[in-house]
Amino acid sequence: MQHPDAERLASVLKALADANRLRLISLIQASPDGEACVCELTGPLGLSQPTISHHLRILTDAGLLERDKRGVWAYFRLVPEALTIIAGSITPPKQRRQSRGGSPAPRRR
């Protein structure tokens, strides 16, 4: 992994390294339309609107969530490929080939 890629991955993992942010992602993903407004997230998490907004901003800045402004409300949804990219970055190459249906390269002796 090249240094810029490692820096990017570290910033994304840092954004995920918070229990409330992981819960936010889970709640948003489980929402009927796969998106949620801040006003829908305060109750389940028991956090204030400014605190929820702070966490959503960190997740959005990390490229994990997309924000869609509709009037006075902002709706958030998970970036579809975000978690796939993270998993691909930390999966050993041999396992990546196998998960795509390819056979592993022959071992050299």
Does residue 77 form part of some domain?
yes
Buried b (16+ CB within 10 A) or exposed e, 43-55: eeeebeeeebeeb
Domain that holds residue 28: 3-91
The total domain count for the chain is: 1
Q: What is the dihedral of CA 47, 68, 78, 12, to 10 degrees?
A: -80
Residue 23 pLDDT: 94
Q: What is the CATH number of the domain that holds 75?
A: 1.10.10.10
Instruction: Tell me the mean pLDDT in the region 6-25.
Output: 87
pLDDT digits (tens, 9 = 90+) for 76-96: 999 988 777 777 676 776 655
pLDDT digits (tens, 9 = 90+) for 37-70: 998 999 999 999 999 999 999 999 999 999 999 9
pTM above 0.85? Answer: no
Does residue 102 form part of some domain?
no
Residue 7 pLDDT: 80
Residue 12 pLDDT: 83
